[in-house]
Chains A and B, each alone.
Chain A
Amino acid sequence: EDQVTQSPEALRLQEGESSSLNCSYTVSGLRGLFWYRQDPGKGPEFLFTLYSAGEEKEKERLKATLTKKESFLHITAPKPEDSATYLCAVQAFTTNAGKSTFGDGTTLTVKP
């Protein structure tokens, strides 16, 4: 069974203090690993897709990386508006695309 574990559960940073969020996964053949941002009362918002180990994607202050066992979401010089829950999800080749297995997320709070 596919599994995703995210750490830490919660992270509090000062504005400008860079850090990383971790997503460890076990999957029978990785189709893709996805990062989402979720604000309170909203649905997840797509950030990145990573397909193979060594791949990196960047968007503004966020950078996602992928190894064979885990993915990191690096946040550089965060701002208060980066406060949200960040979700990691995987899709496996053994299932049709569309069945994502999610972790429970990391709730990031950035203080000014």
Chain B
Amino acid sequence: DAGVTQSPTHLIKTRGQQVTLRCSPKSGHDTVSWYQQALGQGPQFIFQYYEEEERQRGNFPDRFSGHQFPNYSSELNVNALLLGDSALYLCASSLGSGGNQPQHFGDGTRLSIL
């Protein structure tokens, strides 16, 4: 049973560049959420995708955008990168946008901004 997979595992960019991170959810899951985790802190919610639409969003600027494809996989795009965007980006999947389902996380993409 394949879990949540993310790519790439590591990425180095410079300020002002744009980046795209990818996520395939756990088999059977249809909802994808993205989180940003700074070093020594807990994950912070960026946004959630269900039925190819952004369903809710955390306190992140419009530079952060996403997409969900018909096969439930998802992309996170970040434009005009800032030094403060350096973090571990986590994708989590679950079944349905309602209910009490636990989220299953991938191992993340480590993004470093120079």
Contact = CB atoms under 8 A, between A and B. Distances in A.
A97 B45 CA distance: 12
Main secondary structure of the interface of B (DSSP, over half): loop
A22 interface: no
B56 A95 contact: yes
B100 A100 contact: no
Interface of B: 4, 31, 33, 35, 40-45, 48, 50, 55-56, 58, 90, 92, 94, 96-108
Interface of A: 4, 31-32, 34, 36, 41-46, 49, 51, 87, 89, 91, 95-105
B57 to A, nearest CB: 9
A42 B90 CA distance: 10
A101 B102 CA distance: 13
The 6 A-B pairs with the shortest beta carbon distances in the complex, nearest first, are A102-B42, A43-B105, A98-B48, A32-B100, A43-B107, A46-B102
A91 B100 contact: yes
Most buried by A among B45, B98, B102: B102
A98 B94 contact: yes
Contact of B31 (A44, A49, A87, A98): A98
B42 A42 contact: no
A105 B42 contact: yes
Given A42-B107, A46-B103, A98-B33, A87 B56 contact: no
Contacts of A32: 100, 102
Contact of B101 (A41, A97, A102, A104): A97
A41 B100 CA distance: 27
Nearest to B57: A99
A41 B104 CA distance: 16
Contacts of A42: 107-108
Contacts of A96: 48, 50, 55-56, 97-98
A104 B40 contact: yes
A43 B90 contact: yes
A25 to B, nearest CB: 12
Contacts of B103: 34, 46, 98, 100
A71 B96 CA distance: 26
